[in-house]
Structure 1
Amino acid sequence: MISYHISAASPVQHTFNITLTFKASQKNTIIQVPFWRPGRYEAGNFTKNFIGLRASANGEELKARKTTGHTWNVETTPGETIEIKYECYSAELTAGNTYLDEELLLINPVNALVYVLGTENEPANITLEVAKSWKVATAMIPQKNMDNGNGIWKYRCADLQELLDTPILAAENIETLTYRESGIDFHIDIYGDGIADKEKFKEDLAAFTRAQISAFGEFPVNRYRFLTLLLPHKAYHGVEHETSTVLIMGPSAELHKRELYKELIGVSSHELYHTWNVKSLRPADWTPYDFSGPDFSRLGYVAEGVTTYMGDWMLWQSRFFSDIEFLNELSTHVQRHIDNEGRFNLSLADSSIDTWVDGYGRGTPRRRVSIYVEGALVSLICDIAIMKATKGKKGLSDAMRSLYQKVGAKKGFTEAEYWDELKTFAEIDWNKLRNDLIDSTGKLETYLDDAFAEMGLVLTANASEKPWEKEWGVSIQSINGNWEVYNVLKNSPAEKAAMWFGDKITEIGGSLPDAFFAAAPPKTMDGISVSLQSGFRTKTVSPKADGKTWIRKYKVVQDNDSSQDLFKRWKFLLENQAVEVKGVL
């Protein structure tokens, strides 16, 4: 039996001890660190957090030599019980990381645990040792003999996929709320303050849960937990898992405001939708997950794009979002799409592959697109195309349910199967749409305009109220205490004046940037100069406006002069459909 023992080494130093015990089956055993984690399609480099890994048998140290950045070769004797011990450094708190301090432990096993290559299908026991006063929240199944009164918690996972995909939250102050939908218990484990009306929070989660189950006809697993961390500083993150999600939001003191509360509900809906789309209905490239190296797929636009769109659409269906709030979410996607000139240089499918190349940061300017943003807009276009073809009786949600039912849990679907499924719902030229929006560049806007028109919507475009955006074609943001050039449009006055992505502004208009941007913006940027730190060089530039409006703000609004019949069918689609809900018991 494979077993793990996890205990705190030094919470102040963010380290804890891990011991892996197993019986060797061959002379050379490969110890593997996962190359990546689900939900983040890039190299994780988790080994950088492991300290002092040692192997032993019967108290004698064994030779353990690194063979790659993610593997060790251990000289073992078949039949011997082997122990692998190491410390894990965990100082950065995100929803996808592992973290430990004096008051909180969050374990994402995929970046904290090593495993024995070749034992992926074997069960594992997990023993977690924490302070006696602490509570533990996890979707792992407790062992029958677990007695946590002494701070020792014991769990069992069926295989490596379950082990690495089931996070653990532990702290003294965790409050758990519960609701039940379709025979499934959903638990909300809350660390931190900020939600005054917890009953409303529970009701809002239950409402979109009900909508999503209605859309698919069943819930794919028999339990689910929202591991929710509310932090005092600005934070936003969510990571999907098969039977749970980790959510981080802050500042918690502002959760009483609708805008931040919407963010929390929005990321919660997004991650729950992943329970079907990705965790159960998964691209064949990721079935099963291969943790030993990069797991390329061109279907990131389905995994994340469909989920981004549907997560918001479900909030509209559950009436958490008003019409205006839902359209505002679409407006945000459109704005991000237009602001990113990478849409002219790399296709959506190729950008899905290249998350493994340059990760999730901003990367090289104008190089690629976001699978979340572009994928959401393509999903919107497909949804409206199906709505139009079926006269408002079916939508993309029906295609996703049909694909889920045909493919079945965890069997995996190909790109061809996804598009073939859409073809069964609408007789349009899907091949052209796929070529234009998935495999080509710069063709999405025409499709967007047509889709909006079908729903009685229009996309308005007004000049930015910030004169440096309007006249110079440059957006500027405060990043880590510095005012930086965030975006520069091609051929704009800012680009011609040699302003570039990442330049730090040290002075603007004769003032320090904090003072300049805190004051009311000038009516025009005419005659204003900017001092920049560009790499190791300093320079002062004075962009010259050319009379054009460079950056506009886009908004999707209803056209009161247009028929709203299809829009209403879109809004009430789930209510108008009779979907038999089948719970997993």
Structure 2
Amino acid sequence: MNYKIYSKNKSSHFIDVEFQVQNVENETLELQLPAWRPGRYELQNFAKNIQKFEVFDAEGKLLPAQKISKDRWKVQTNGAKEITAKYNYYANLVNAGSSYVDENILYVNPVNICVYAEGFINEPCKLELFLLENQVIAGLNNIQKITKGNAEINFNDFYHLADSPFIVSANLKHATYEVDAVKFNLWFEGNLSRAYLGKISTDFKKFTEEQIKLFGVFPEKEYHFITWILPIAYYHGVEHRSSTMQVLGPDGQDFNGSLSDELYIDLLGLASHELFHTWNICKLRPVELLPYDYTKENYFPTCFVAEGVTTYYGDLMLYRSGVFDEKQYLKELETYYKRHFDHSDRASQSLIESSWDLWLDGYTQSIPDRKVSVYHKGAIAAQILDLHLQRTSGGSRSIDDVMRILWQRFGASENGTPLRGYSMQDYFDICEEVAGESLTWYFEQCILGTESLFELLNSYLTHINLRLIRNEENLVQLIKYQS
């Protein structure tokens, strides 16, 4: 499958796409635009952004193409062995999971805009981009050549292409660092002084080293942090196979191209979280998500592992690596304690039920006292497990052991693609294996149950000289005391 991506009229915010598939054998061929994107477990309806969609044979003759669902077309090939779909996609939304184009920047998340041909999803893909003078491509590892403004990039298959976002711009700031012979790229679009990149590189390298130390290996040969700094308040990140896309703001123009303290903390927290996803979900994946089915919802009950454990580790790695001091780490802990206990402590759903219902209303406000956040309650459940393992083993075991074993048994990959996925039972079994005892109480109360975890969490926090209290407004606060 071959793709050409360009924009004939950048000010219109339309991206033009040409998709070509060869060696067609059947009388009909179905083309699918993904209905959702990895990292956001809800239907996205990307097809609503397509203005015009046409399909041609190799001689340029128009072929009949009929929509058979909201994002799927059936093409009558009329004997053609090669077909080309030409369409344009309205890209005028700036966030970490969308696509955007104007006179200065092209940001593409291929899962938004690239169709694939049914039966060809595992075939190699080639992407051709058209660059203006001085423009740079950020985020891709596999650029084959750039000749006279044309760039060619190869991908193992559609899954690889769909999970490889990139930015084309003349204004990108770039820095690198290395850990264990892996190159990590920092790309920044927006108002950020190049002089600030040194501090960012230093801190990023620290938490990167700490995460690699946990798993023992980094699963990619090169990685990209792509960050777009906006002049308005914003916070959003998305994990990908060998990169993360992050959109943050406000840019703090009064700081002479540096970042405000608050925005820098946001950057660190988001980047650490998304880097941890390189293992946990991009490679170490629930069995229900192998492979991704881009045509419909992919229900799975373990998003509390994918997102909750990752949320817990994102800040923990910043603390362990010395990027966060204790005060800052406790502030981050208190933040997700408050988000859960102040708003969802009486919710009627368990973590498993809310994992399943992400596809229903996981990213929007629900009716009162219905769902819990797999991020916030999931992180609390992960911390309770961690503190229990540490306490019962005298500090010799922790949730680190759970994640290492999970990675060793289920995270192995070939060409960046996981070979097998874990089930909820696999996760439960490994937790009990590390504990050396039954953890039925933990699973029933923290994962399967709906009762408040306030007192249970406090019983473990006491052993590390912390305690949650409720103030006069019944809002939680985290306090530290001397033993």
Q: Which TM bucket (shorter chain)?
A: over 0.9
For the Cα contact (< 8 Å) 1:8–1:130, is it kept in 2?
no
Q: Contact (CA 8 Å) 2:354, 2:362: kept in 1 or not?
A: no
Match of 2:424 in 1: 415
Do 1:142 and 1:156's aligned partners in 2 also have CA atoms closer than 8 Å?
A: yes
User: What CA distance in whole angstroms lies between the structure 2 residues aligned with 1:359 and 1:53?
Assistant: 32
Instruction: State the partner residue of 2:415.
Output: none
Take 2:376 and 2:267, find their aligned partners in 1: how far apart are those partners?
A: 18
- Is 2:62 the counterpart of 1:53? no
Matched, 1:22 2:21: yes
Tell me if structure 2 keeps the 8 A contact 1:342–1:367.
Answer: no
Residue 398 of structure 2 corresponds to residue 395 of structure 1: yes
The equivalent of 1:211 in structure 2 is: 210
Tell whether the 8 Å contact from 1:348 to 1:439 is kept in structure 2 after alignment: yes
The residue that corresponds to 2:179 in the other structure is: 181
* Equivalent residue runs for 1:286-365 within 5 Å: 286-341=289-344, 343-365=346-368
How far apart, in 2, do the equivalents of 1:352 and 1:147 lie? 43
Report the aligned-residue RMSD.
1.5
Residue 301 of structure 2 aligns to a residue whose secondary structure is coil
TM-score of the superposed pair, with normalisation by structure 1: 0.78
Report if the CA contact (8 A) 1:63-1:75 is conserved. yes
Q: 1:161: how far off? A: 1.0
Instruction: Note the alpha carbon deviations across 1:97-135, whole angstroms, 9 max, x for none.
Output: 011111111100001111111111100110011322211
Give, as a single letter, the amino acid of the residue that structure 2 aligns with 1:420: D
Structure 2 letter corresponding to 1:89? Y
For residue 458 of structure 1, the aligned residue among 456, 460, 467 is 467
Query: Structure 2 vs 1, CA of residues 558 and 387 (structure 1 numbering), >3 Å: closer, same or farther?
Result: same
Q: Identity rate of aligned residues, in percent?
A: 34
- Secondary structure of the residue aligned to 1:147 is strand
In the aligned structure 2, how far is the partner of 1:443 from the partner of 1:363?
A: 19
Shift of 1:4: 0.2
Please say if residues 285 and 411 of structure 2, whose CA atoms lie closer than 8 Å, have aligned partners that are also in contact. Answer: no
What SS does the aligned partner of 1:229 have?
strand
Aligned position for 1:76: 77
Q: Distance in 2 between matches of 1:93 and 1:71?
A: 25
Question: Which amino acid is the alignment partner of residue 29 of structure 1?
Answer: L
Deviation at 1:344, TM superposition (A): 2.8
Q: What is the match of residue 433 of structure 1?
A: 442
Q: How far has the Cα of 1:456 moved from its partner?
A: 2.0
Q: Which amino acid aligns with 2:442?
A: L
Q: CA deviation at 1:446?
A: 2.4
Alignment of 1:161-200 (within 5 A): 161-195=159-193, 196-200=195-199
Is 2:141–2:222's contact at 8 Å kept on the other side of the alignment? no
Q: In the comparison of the two structures, how many residue pairs are matched?
A: 470
Alignment match, 2:31? 31
Residue 368 (structure 1) aligned with residue 368 (structure 2): no
Moved more, 159-168 or 425-434: 425-434
Residue identity matched to 1:171: S
Aligned residue type for 1:398: D
Residue number in structure 2 paired with 1:277? 280
Is 207-216 or 317-326 further displaced after alignment?
A: 317-326
AA in 2 matched with 1:182:
D
Whole-angstrom CA distance in 1 between matches of 2:281 and 2:220 = 13
Q: 1:258 matched to which residue of 2?
A: 261
Q: Distance in 2 between matches of 1:232 and 1:256?
A: 11
1:406 match:
409
Measured in 2, the distance between the counterparts of 1:557 and 1:392 equals 23
Quote the residue 2:478 is aligned against.
Answer: 556
1:345 Cα offset (Å): 1.1
> What amino acid is aligned across from residue 46 of structure 1 in structure 2?
F
Contact 2:63-2:78 within 8 A present in 1 as well: no
Measure, in 2, the Cα distance between the counterparts of 1:383 and 1:219.
23
- What secondary structure is seen at the aligned counterpart in 2 of 1:425? helix
The structure having more radius of gyration, on CA atoms, is: 1
C-alpha distance in 2 between matches for 1:78 and 1:121: 23
Q: Within 2, Cα distance between the matches of 1:14 and 1:79? A: 33
Deviation at 1:442, TM superposition (A): 2.2
Which whole-Å CA distance do the structure 2 matches of 1:78 and 1:289 have between them?
A: 31
Measure the CA separation in 2 of the matches of 1:429 and 1:328: 33
Name the CA distance, whole Å, in 1 between partners of 2:344 and 2:246.
31
Cα 1:309–1:267 change in 2 (3 A) is same
User: Which TM-score applies when normalising by structure 2?
Assistant: 0.94
Are 2:154 and 1:156 aligned? yes
CA 1:427–1:443 in structure 2 vs 1: closer, same or farther (change >3 Å)? farther
What is the rounded CA distance, in whole Å, between the counterparts of 1:26 and 1:117 in structure 2?
A: 11
Task: Give 1:429 deviation, angstroms.
Answer: 3.9
Paired amino acid for 1:83:
T
Where do 1:210-229 residues align within 5 Å? 210-229=209-228
Instruction: Determine the C-alpha separation between the residues in 1 that align with 2:94 and 2:50.
Output: 17
Instruction: Name the SS for the 2:300 alignment partner.
Output: coil
Asked if 2 retains the 8 angstrom alpha-carbon contact of 1:133 and 1:151, the reply is no
Is contact 2:468-2:479 (8 Å) kept?
A: yes
Show structure 1 runs of 5+ residues with no match: 464-469, 471-550, 563-585
String of CA shifts for 1:422-463, please: whole Å, max 9, x gaps: 112214441121111111212312221111112221113323
In structure 1, C-alpha distance between the alignment counterparts of 2:361 and 2:56, rounded to whole Å: 38
SS in 2 for 1:242: coil
Letter in 2 for 1:32: Q
| Superimposed CA distance per residue, residues 449-498 of structure 1 (whole angstroms, 9 cap, x where no aligned partner) | 111112221113323xxxxxx4xxxxxxxxxxxxxxxxxxxxxxxxxxxx
Deviates more, 1:190-199 or 1:267-276: 190-199
Provide the C-alpha distance between the structure 2 equivalents of 1:359 and 1:15, rounded to a whole number of angstroms. Answer: 30
1:431-510 matches, within 5 Å, as 431-463=440-472, 470=473
- Find the counterpart in structure 2 of residue 6 from structure 1: 5
